[in-house]
Structure 1
Amino acid sequence: MQYAALGLDVGRKRIGVAGCDRLGITVHGITTIIRKSWQDDMAELRSLILERNIDTLVIGLPYNMDGSLGYQAKQVQKFANGAAKHLGITVEFVDERLTSYEAEEMMRSQGISTRENKAMIDRKAAAIILQQWLAIKQQAIM
């Protein structure tokens, strides 16, 4: 199975971006897009999609802890649906509850300050989102 996906952790200020190798074995943070405008966000994503020959965006959906969709989740859905249409790309969602917390814990365990490294947290959260999606895809094959 070949994978051509980017994982996205979409926030109001930043978008963490992660990628994987074509076999879906390794996942790594690529960049953090500092949000300026819709057009700028789409231009940066389009550039990454073309450069990496991507066919799917895997976007973390921030459910509330009770499993409901709150305001931020609805904003992410709106972004994702707009991006899918604007970029002509498939979008899939992954439950991203606690991914930023998990990313911060990983950084703390490595002795990396989370206070000055918000962009790194976003990239790591995007990597966790993409890893979760890959695990779901690989389980479906087995």
Structure 2
Amino acid sequence: MTSAIVPLESLLDLPDHARLLGLDLGTKTIGLALSDVERSIATPLETIQRVKFGLDAAALLKIAGKYQVAGLVIGLPLNMDGSEGPRVQSTRAFVRNLAPLTELPIVFWDERMSTLAVTRTLLDADASRAKRAAVVDKMAAAYILQGALDRLARLADDAFGPETA
């Protein structure tokens, strides 16, 4: 059982009605978001409190199985200049350790500005500090996943032509 890190385009080949799970990997939590079966809308799902890799991976894969997820979209925390720092190295290490435990394809998605964008949205909504802390990780995961879903839709339009109603 080994998954592969694949380009986003390969997710176009997934079976119909297969969901994707978006992840925002933090040092203390993993924010999760789930796509709808049409793979057009990302919804914040939950936050896993990180303990140690084995427990974190087991919790993640249990959720993936529960929702019949067909692929993982993992935020890659690049620096603003596009370079890779310690957080990217940590994310890549997590994925290297996760890959042998699942057959799900894994896609990296540039997550620059995701937490900032979500935090600004929550501030604009006048959410309290406690409320922001409770939801920011899973909302960042939804932001990451939505970006990937939007790109997949554009790729599908380019490859197959826009759907006609």
Superposed pair shares fold, TM > 0.5: yes
State the Cα RMSD in Å. 1.4
TM-score normalised by the chain length of structure 1: 0.93
| Residue number among 144, 150, 159 corresponding to 1:135 in the alignment | 150
Larger radius of gyration: 2
Q: Are the aligned partners of 1:57 and 1:90 in contact in 2 as well (CA < 8 Å)?
A: yes
Aligned length: 142
Instruction: Find the counterpart in structure 1 of residue 71 from structure 2.
Output: 56
Instruction: Find the counterpart in structure 2 of residue 104 from structure 1.
Output: 119
Structure 2 unmatched ranges of 5 or more = 1-15, 158-165
Instruction: Find the counterpart in structure 2 of residue 73 from structure 1.
Output: 88
Question: What secondary structure is seen at the aligned counterpart in 2 of 1:92?
Answer: strand
CA distance in 2, matches of 1:114, 1:95: 26
Q: Are the aligned partners of 2:75 and 2:144 in contact in 1 as well (CA < 8 Å)?
A: yes
Q: Residue type matched to 1:76 in 2? A: T
1:19-48 deviation digits (Å, cap 9, x = unpaired): 011112322111000000111101111111
Q: Are the aligned partners of 1:19 and 1:28 in contact in 2 as well (CA < 8 Å)?
A: yes
Percent identical pairs in the alignment equals: 31
Q: Residue type matched to 1:136 in 2? A: R
CA distance in 1, matches of 2:37, 2:96: 25
Q: Are the aligned partners of 1:6 and 1:54 in contact in 2 as well (CA < 8 Å)?
A: yes
CA distance in 1, matches of 2:48, 2:134: 8
User: Structure 1 residues 73, 110: closer, same or farther in 2, change over 3 A?
Assistant: same
Structure 1 unmatched ranges of 5 or more = none
Q: Are the aligned partners of 2:73 and 2:145 in contact in 1 as well (CA < 8 Å)?
A: yes
State the 4+ residue runs in structure 1 displaced beyond 6 angstroms.
none
Instruction: Find the counterpart in structure 2 of residue 86 from structure 1.
Output: 101
Question: What secondary structure is seen at the aligned counterpart in 1 of 2:38?
Answer: coil
